[in-house]
Amino acid sequence: MRGGDVRSGELFSYVDLEDRVRSDHPLRTIRQIVNDALVLLEREFAALYSPIGRPSIPPEKLLRAMLLQAFYSIRSERLLMERLEYDLLFRWFVGIGIDDAAWNHSVFSKNRDRLLEGDLAAKFLRAILSQPKIKRLLSTDHFSVDGTLIEAWASMKSFKPKDGSGEPPADSGGRNVETDFHGEKRSNETHASTTDPDARLYRKGKGKEAKLCFMGHGLMENRHGLLVDACLTEASGHAERVAALHMVEPRADRPRAITLGADKAYDTQDFVNELRSMRVTPHVAQNAKGRRSAIDGRMTRHSGYGVSLRIRKRIEEAFGWIKIVAGQEKTKLRGRDRVGWAFTFAAAAYNLVRLPKLMTVQ
């Protein structure tokens, strides 16, 4: 029998949100991991808020909503609040009732900024990885490192001389004037962005355009390709190697030596010597084009060296997800600390996407 085209729904609903989400939905496992991590951050949350005054948006709900923004590639807080208004799955994951109103997007952004002031993204990443059911998935002996460019939220027109000589005349026709950069020598020593002074003009390689950007860094364990550390620095030629040493040093303080895989950009004598002084075996790809590599035959003859070079490429999968899915290819924040917070938080979101399947296999 054909059903009727009834346009109005029931006035009341007696179905719990928990029943609206199927039992095998991946977000169920993710939500449990997130909730366990948020319990570990209770003291850090308490330090960010005053004991008096009107209640704000709970930080736990803020972080859950920001995770959904990364998972589903939602480009703005305004669209996130719109999705939260009608999507029952989103309401269930964040932890708001079916009759509760979604927050105003500007209120959400202001409350989010309080979390950006603390080092909560890195603590959140560590809280996820410290859980026993996840810790057993991680390798403690073999790691890989790499860096990627994060384009700054600043126009090339904002890259002006530091002495103020690049200001347009008063009758130039507005702030977005026609500009010709050809023949003009510009560098980070003489110029800076007026929009984001922390951004640096940098290009990844020969033949590629220079952009105002930051450099994000990730440390991956080689067993399952999960990111165990992430940070963001100014873009420079030596930033990748400095960040790699900073991230691997806490893991080198153990009786047994560990390995670190990296691409050709890390093949310098200073970097290799620093790793060896920390008892870290440098599985770095050889860069012998027009120069002498710091990695000789004593290292390349081992079978583990080739395995590390093959597995280290998986870190590009993490960077691809962070930049394309989580929307960090061109950041919407300004300042190195704020951009770094978002990059590290996106790294935690990447791990969460991977964990449900990994935990099922194990």
Give CA–CA dist 192/315, Å, rounded: 31
Give CA–CA dist 1/61, Å, rounded: 45
Q: Read off the tokens for 100.
A: 């509760």
In this structure, are 112 and 148 located in the same domain? no
Give CA–CA dist 342/227, Å, rounded: 15
In this structure, are 251 and 145 located in the same domain? yes
Q: Read off the tokens for 52.
A: 């008096």
3-class DSSP state for residue 84? Answer: helix
318 burial class (0-12, 13-18, 19+ CB within 10 angstroms)? buried
Q: Read off the tokens for 265.
A: 């950009």
On whether residue 316 sits in a domain, the answer given is yes
On whether residue 330 sits in a domain, the answer given is yes
In this structure, are 101 and 220 located in the same domain? no
**Could you tell me the pLDDT band of residue 230, with boundaries at 50, 70 and 90?**
very high
**Could you tell me the pLDDT band of residue 181, with boundaries at 50, 70 and 90?**
low
Q: Which helix (H) or strand (E) holds 319?
A: helix 315-320
Domain count for the chain, please give it.
Answer: 2
- pTM higher than the cut 0.85: yes
Query: How much of the chain, in percent, has pLDDT values that exceed 70?
Result: 91
Q: What is the pLDDT of residues 259-288, one digit of tens each?
A: 999 999 999 999 999 999 999 999 999 987
In this structure, are 255 and 146 located in the same domain? yes
In this structure, are 71 and 144 located in the same domain? no
Q: Which helix (H) or strand (E) holds 252?
A: helix 239-252
In this structure, are 144 and 246 located in the same domain? yes
On whether residue 302 sits in a domain, the answer given is yes
**Residue 113, Cα to own-chain centre: how many angstroms?**
16
> Does the structure show a pLDDT above 60 at 170?
no
Nearest to 147 by CA among 4, 281, 264: 264
Residue numbers of the domain that contains 273: 139-152+213-335
**Residue 38, Cα to own-chain centre: how many angstroms?**
18
On whether residue 191 sits in a domain, the answer given is no
In this structure, are 285 and 144 located in the same domain? yes
SS3 for 33-61 is: HHHHHHHHCHHHHHHHCCCCCCCCCCHHH
Alpha helices in 51-210 (DSSP H): 59-71, 77-86, 88-94, 105-116, 120-129, 132-135
On whether residue 193 sits in a domain, the answer given is no
Mean pLDDT computed over 186-214? 89
**Residue 238, Cα to own-chain centre: how many angstroms?**
20
Q: Read off the tokens for 324.
A: 């394309």
Classify residue 103 by its DSSP letter.
Answer: P
On whether residue 97 sits in a domain, the answer given is yes
In this structure, are 268 and 323 located in the same domain? yes
On whether residue 113 sits in a domain, the answer given is yes
In this structure, are 75 and 220 located in the same domain? no
What's 255's domain CATH number? Answer: 3.30.420
DSSP-assigned beta bridge partners for residue 260: 143, 282
Mean pLDDT (the chain) is 89
Q: What is the pLDDT of residues 29-60, one digit of tens each?
A: 999 999 999 999 999 888 888 888 788 888 99
On whether residue 315 sits in a domain, the answer given is yes
Q: Pick the range with the lowest mean pLDDT from 28-37, 80-89, 103-112, 234-243.
A: 103-112
> Does the structure show a pLDDT above 90 at 298?
no
In this structure, are 278 and 145 located in the same domain? yes
In this structure, are 144 and 96 located in the same domain? no
Give CA–CA dist 102/95, Å, rounded: 11
Amino acid at 255: P
In this structure, are 144 and 80 located in the same domain? no
